[in-house]
Amino acid sequence: MPGGTVFRLMAMSLLALVLTGCGINNIPTYDEQVKSAWSQVENQYQRRADLVPNLVETVKGFAEQERETLTAVTEARSKATSIQVDESILNDPEKLQQFQQVQGELSSALSRLMAISERYPDLKSNENFLALQSQLEGTENRIAVARRDFIQAVERYNTEIRTFPGRLWHSFLYSDMELRANFEATTPDAEDAPEVEF
């Protein structure tokens, strides 16, 4: 091998090592983490949507007179599952807000449904209901964790794009990758603590 070729090969290897150590790959890596975290949010919302029909059917047998609440839950689930969700939602803050709103409506309807169980002792002790309630509570916790992970992934990605040296890499190599929208509270007055009366 001629000496110039060896020198160029070593120089290219050194340049590659320097570039990989200085964060050139952070932006696409963090972008993929955002997409992955979002998939987990969708996964948990889907799990909840899958549980709702079973829960409604179980309650229906005990609380036929609660038709309005059962209808509200069914309609909220229908709205929540009717929104077409794919990666494009990550680039559209309006769609993300709409998605959050219908998921909030479903959460509210499910809360009303759970409150019904207090009026029906037989329902509260029904094994199917208890199992579904437990699964739903677990799913709500998973949703909270998935949303937290998504929020952190978006924060990491957006921070990388806006700070040095990521800002440089973004302007030179990844200018087509925009800041990501994040979750916001969709429930009115969510920042206020609820009043509890006994």
0.75 exceeded by pTM: no
Q: What is the mean pLDDT of residues 162-182?
A: 89
Contact 158, 180 (CB under 8 A): yes
86-122 pLDDT, tens digit each: 777 888 888 888 888 889 888 888 888 888 777 777 7
Nearest to residue 73, comparing CAs of 50, 105, 116, 117?
Answer: 105
Residue 77 has pLDDT above 70, yes or no: yes
The pLDDT of residue 176 is above 50: yes
Could you count the other beta carbons within 10 Å of the beta carbon of residue 179?
A: 14
Neighbours of 12 (CB within 10 A): 10
Q: Where are the alpha helices (DSSP H) in the chain?
A: 3-21, 26-62, 67-82, 93-116, 121-125, 127-162, 166-172
The pLDDT assigned to 194 comes to 46
Q: What are phi and psi of 94, to 5 degrees?
A: -65, -45
CB atoms within 10 A of CB 145: 13
Average pLDDT for 152-180: 91
Quick one: tokens of 55? 């829960």
